Structure 1
């Protein structure tokens, strides 16, 4: 049936309008597209040209050379050695396992090396090189280079690696470097992009860690051209960046070697400090370890040997270790009493061998007692009861304040790991920390450096230096950075009565030079180098009443870990102090027997600038001293090289 003409005309008009609208929309879209293309090609051409360039050109970071570390005389302590290494690129190698199997026939590779490399190649992008082995000898490197045609994807590289030429002598001071870990990154709010470089190493302990920002340097850049797959085609430009700054320490390398050798066989620590400048001339902790083991990747067996050693070689006892200072603390109690005007130098107390108070008996080390004791004699003979009496009158807060003034209970600012604060307790401290009230027995124990009192060998050396100099001298470890001398901290007087300080010094001199002094056997007979000092013995166990009744066990009859710690602090020359020394021998027994001889030898060594002269020892001891010096495991020196500088 034919449609009416009117319907046909209406339909045609509707189709025409739709075609017009659709055509208009298409033209508008084409116009918008043309306008956008014009904008991108003309107005924003520079922007998109830059984006294309960034796709084609990559910037890669170049690790800078790490700053070197020297001793006070310019002897290298931490260096950067050329490191030959072999790397493999998974994209070029194809069958990585097969290539590694061929490679292990040329250079020694363990199963662990193979497994680690295979795992690393799977984690990395195909074209990123992965280190297979480093620290190769020239011979191994040559064998790999000759066989590279049969080792697809394998190439040799030359880089820098940290090395410690003096080995174990500076392990606890300088520390060591190691690869950046996730834990290291988690501690940083804005980590340096350098730390993201695979295999980049940073300081893990000691000066290496505390001065990381100084030693690291600034990264360089390499501008390289890459293809669409990201493979390197060529290097366009290179900026080597800025090497880390060099650091010179105050430590004397040859003195440090002597002190470490003198401590051999002991679990001990020694600190030597310049009384005039605060320079730390030696900081020794024994036993020690070779930091190079950690840089190269320490084996399980080596690490287990260090951690299972009861002498704890990984611990830096000189600044991290804290010990009851024992009788070396008596100068603090004496000065607190003198300064408060509560006790005079000539005031005496009777020592019957014990003090009975608060229903408890506190014993003196001398069972039969010392009789009448004044301040001078109490220090010379190390009478405990004298200080029990004094402490009750002075009070713990005054004693603690004096300890702080002398450098105890204070964390000294030197760039070493975990420098201890120690502990000089007060009345409030026990309530706040333990929820208990302070009792008179706590004060009595603290008066002789027992109970809650704790100090590190570094703090004891600072205390001794301040007593000797009468100033608030502070320890200094960094002498110069990039050749620029670091400022020596200006010192001020201790705000103590000079007469009281002189009284303490006279008593310390008598400890070593009076026949009744506890350190007399370890005296120096050379009049120009006489030593002043104080011995200390700190208990690590409680002595029961039953044990006292039947007789206290001698230290040598006890297991090593139950023996007393031995301490000795000293300075010399006694009449014009130049150096202070603190020695702690863990479980060494008596301070006068175990620690004092070490302190004497170290003082003679630093004063003489070479091996201690035999004529400085009592005549009856010289033969034994000579034998001891011959047996010391000192490092061999180059021809013509002698002892340390006296600077």
Structure 2
């Protein structure tokens, strides 16, 4: 059927409007798309270029070289040494277990190391290298390199590891490093990215841990090109990090080595301080351990051996150990009374061997008593009753305040682990701690360094240095940082009557140089080097009335852990104090027998700067001392040969 002209025109008009409308829509869409493309390609080009670059290029951290640690004379105590290690990249290895099995046929692999590596593999991306064996020999590296085609994913590498050449001598001072653990990270609110590098080492205990930030340094960085899976394709550039600060300690390595050897197999500790500067020149705790065992993770067997030893080799007894100071505290009680003007040097106290206080009998160590005792004799013979009487007169608050002035009951700021505060108790302390009133008997016990009174060997050495000099000597462990000398600890003059100090020093001189002195057997006879000291015996058990009636059991007849602690503090020379020392022998019995000889020998070694002449010792002791010196020298040579062979 033929359409009329009007219908055709109307239809054309409708189609034209639709075409215009659709064309307009298409044009608007194309225009919007063009504007969006311009915005993305021109206006936001820099932003998207950066995003694309980040997808292609990664920034990887470079661990810095750890700062090294030296003794006061420049001897190395902790160093970074090149070590060879074998790593595996799990995604390149394919069948990891099969590759490890083939590798184990070439070189011995520790099962604990393998298990540790597999644990790391489960926690890390598959393209990150994991250490399988560390500190291996060049021969082992060569074997791996030759068999590389059969060991996919296995790579021999050269890196830095921490080495402690002095081994046991500085284990408690320097401490050791180890890989960052989950526990280490949990203690930090915002861990640095460098700490997440696999097997990155940080200080775990001791000086290494306390100055970790300074020793660690600052990480470097490298830009690497990676593929879509994150695997490194090539390195683009690198910026080396900043090495950690080198630290120089105040300790004399030779003297420290001698002190450690002199303590021998005892459970003991010794501290020696330079009275003029406050420098800690020896601070030894025995028995010790080899810190190198901990650097890459100690074996279960080795760790169990250390933790099950009743002598506690892992504990740093010099600063962590706190003990009743026993009679080494008597100088503090005497000074508290002298400063208050409560006694005169010639006044005497009658000692019948005990004193009745509030219905309780407090005994002197000498059962028959000392008779009439003045201040000098009380120190020389270590009469307990004399100090019971003083304590009642002066009171615990004055005794406690004097103890703190001389460094007891105060935490000294040394960069070592778990530095103990000790305890110089008073009335307020007991009320706050136990909710109880202070008793007169508590004061009597405290007067001879028993009861609640506690002090570390470091604190006793500080006390002795202050007694010797009359200055508030502060212990110093860091001599310099990157060659910059650190402030000394000579201290200011103490507000103590010089005559009272001289009185106490004279009593300490009598202890070591008069025939009835408790330290006379360990005296120094060299002119100009005579020693002033004080022995102490710290009870670790209660002696019952029945035992006293039957006769107190000798320390030698008791199990080791029930014997008294032995203490001795001393300084020398008496006329011009140079060094102060404190020695504690756990469960060693009497201080004059077990601790005094060690203190005397360490002081002489320091005064002479090496092995002292036999003429410095009493004639009757010289053959024994000569044999002892020869034995210690043989042990030193044996240890040095062991060091050389290990380093080779």
Asked if Structure 1 and Structure 2 have the same fold, meaning a TM-score greater than 0.5 normalized by the shorter chain, the answer is: yes
Structure 1 residues 9 and 113, CA gap change in structure 2 (3 angstroms): farther
More divergent stretch after superposition (456-465 vs 625-634): 625-634
Pairwise CA distance, 1:30: 3.9
In structure 2, the partner of 1:383 is 383
More divergent stretch after superposition (64-73 vs 117-126): 117-126
Q: Contact between 1:565 and 1:587, CA under 8 Å: does it hold in 2?
A: yes
Pairwise CA distance, 1:17: 8.6
In structure 1, the partner of 2:145 is 145
Q: Contact between 1:258 and 1:634, CA under 8 Å: does it hold in 2?
A: no
Structure 1 residues 422 and 18, CA gap change in structure 2 (3 angstroms): farther
Pairwise CA distance, 1:229: 2.3
In structure 2, the partner of 1:5 is none
Q: Contact between 2:84 and 2:158, CA under 8 Å: does it hold in 1?
A: yes
Q: Output the CA distance in 1 between the equivalents of 2:549 and 2:371.
A: 22
In structure 2, the partner of 1:345 is 345
SS in 2 for 1:320: coil
Q: Output the CA distance in 2 between the equivalents of 1:500 and 1:290.
A: 46
Q: Output the CA distance in 1 between the equivalents of 2:20 and 2:379.
A: 115
SS in 1 for 2:59: strand
Q: Deviations over 1:475-499 (max 9, x none)?
A: 0000011111112145211100000
What pairs with 1:252-331 in structure 2 (closer than 5 Å)?
Answer: 252-331=252-331
Structure 1 residues 552 and 35, CA gap change in structure 2 (3 angstroms): same
Pairwise CA distance, 1:190: 2.8
In structure 1, the partner of 2:637 is 636
Pairwise CA distance, 1:24: 5.6
In structure 2, the partner of 1:63 is 63
| Residue 131 (1) aligns with residue 118 (2) | no
Q: Deviations over 1:193-252 (max 9, x none)?
A: 211111001000111001111110110111111122222121111111111110000000
Q: Output the CA distance in 1 between the equivalents of 2:121 and 2:639.
A: 45
More divergent stretch after superposition (344-353 vs 510-519): 344-353
Q: Which runs of 5+ in 1 are unaligned?
A: 1-7, 640-647
In structure 1, the partner of 2:99 is 99
Q: Deviations over 1:407-428 (max 9, x none)?
A: 0001001110110100000101
In structure 2, the partner of 1:549 is 549
Q: Contact between 2:179 and 2:296, CA under 8 Å: does it hold in 1?
A: no
Q: Output the CA distance in 1 between the equivalents of 2:157 and 2:194.
A: 19
Structure 1 residues 443 and 22, CA gap change in structure 2 (3 angstroms): farther
Q: Contact between 1:272 and 1:581, CA under 8 Å: does it hold in 2?
A: yes
Pairwise CA distance, 1:626: 1.1
Q: Output the CA distance in 2 between the equivalents of 1:183 and 1:113.
A: 19
Structure 1 residues 406 and 21, CA gap change in structure 2 (3 angstroms): farther
Structure 1 residues 9 and 358, CA gap change in structure 2 (3 angstroms): farther
Q: Output the CA distance in 2 between the equivalents of 1:117 and 1:573.
A: 57
In structure 1, the partner of 2:559 is 559
SS in 2 for 1:116: helix
Q: Output the CA distance in 1 between the equivalents of 2:58 and 2:388.
A: 74
Q: Output the CA distance in 2 between the equivalents of 1:192 and 1:210.
A: 17
Q: Output the CA distance in 1 between the equivalents of 2:499 and 2:348.
A: 18
Q: Output the CA distance in 1 between the equivalents of 2:274 and 2:350.
A: 38
Q: Contact between 1:512 and 1:523, CA under 8 Å: does it hold in 2?
A: yes
In structure 2, the partner of 1:408 is 408
Pairwise CA distance, 1:14: 11
In structure 1, the partner of 2:5 is none
Structure 1 residues 119 and 516, CA gap change in structure 2 (3 angstroms): closer
Pairwise CA distance, 1:117: 3.1
Q: Output the CA distance in 1 between the equivalents of 2:338 and 2:119.
A: 69
In structure 2, the partner of 1:439 is 439
Pairwise CA distance, 1:11: 12
Q: Output the CA distance in 2 between the equivalents of 1:519 and 1:621.
A: 14
| Residue 420 (1) aligns with residue 426 (2) | no
Q: Deviations over 1:252-279 (max 9, x none)?
A: 0010010000001100000000000000
More divergent stretch after superposition (410-419 vs 628-637): 628-637
Q: Output the CA distance in 2 between the equivalents of 1:595 and 1:282.
A: 16
Pairwise CA distance, 1:109: 1.4
Q: Deviations over 1:541-591 (max 9, x none)?
A: 000000000000000000000000000000000111000000000000000
Pairwise CA distance, 1:191: 2.0
| Residue 207 (1) aligns with residue 207 (2) | yes
Q: Output the CA distance in 1 between the equivalents of 2:25 and 2:602.
A: 97
Q: Output the CA distance in 1 between the equivalents of 2:414 and 2:74.
A: 20
In structure 2, the partner of 1:598 is 598
Q: Contact between 1:97 and 1:118, CA under 8 Å: does it hold in 2?
A: no
Give the number of aligned pairs: 634
Q: Which runs of 5+ in 2 are unaligned?
A: 1-7, 641-648
Q: Output the CA distance in 1 between the equivalents of 2:22 and 2:571.
A: 103
| Residue 610 (1) aligns with residue 610 (2) | yes
In structure 2, the partner of 1:645 is none
SS in 2 for 1:421: coil
Q: Contact between 1:96 and 1:118, CA under 8 Å: does it hold in 2?
A: no
Structure 1 residues 521 and 490, CA gap change in structure 2 (3 angstroms): closer
TM-score by length of 1: 0.95
CA RMSD of aligned residues (A): 2.1
Structure 1 residues 19 and 118, CA gap change in structure 2 (3 angstroms): farther
SS in 1 for 2:637: coil
In structure 2, the partner of 1:224 is 224
In structure 1, the partner of 2:398 is 398
Q: Contact between 2:65 and 2:244, CA under 8 Å: does it hold in 1?
A: yes
Q: Output the CA distance in 2 between the equivalents of 1:297 and 1:535.
A: 42
Q: Output the CA distance in 2 between the equivalents of 1:556 and 1:15.
A: 122
Pairwise CA distance, 1:29: 4.3
Pairwise CA distance, 1:99: 1.0
Structure 1 residues 393 and 10, CA gap change in structure 2 (3 angstroms): farther
Pairwise CA distance, 1:25: 5.6
SS in 1 for 2:321: coil
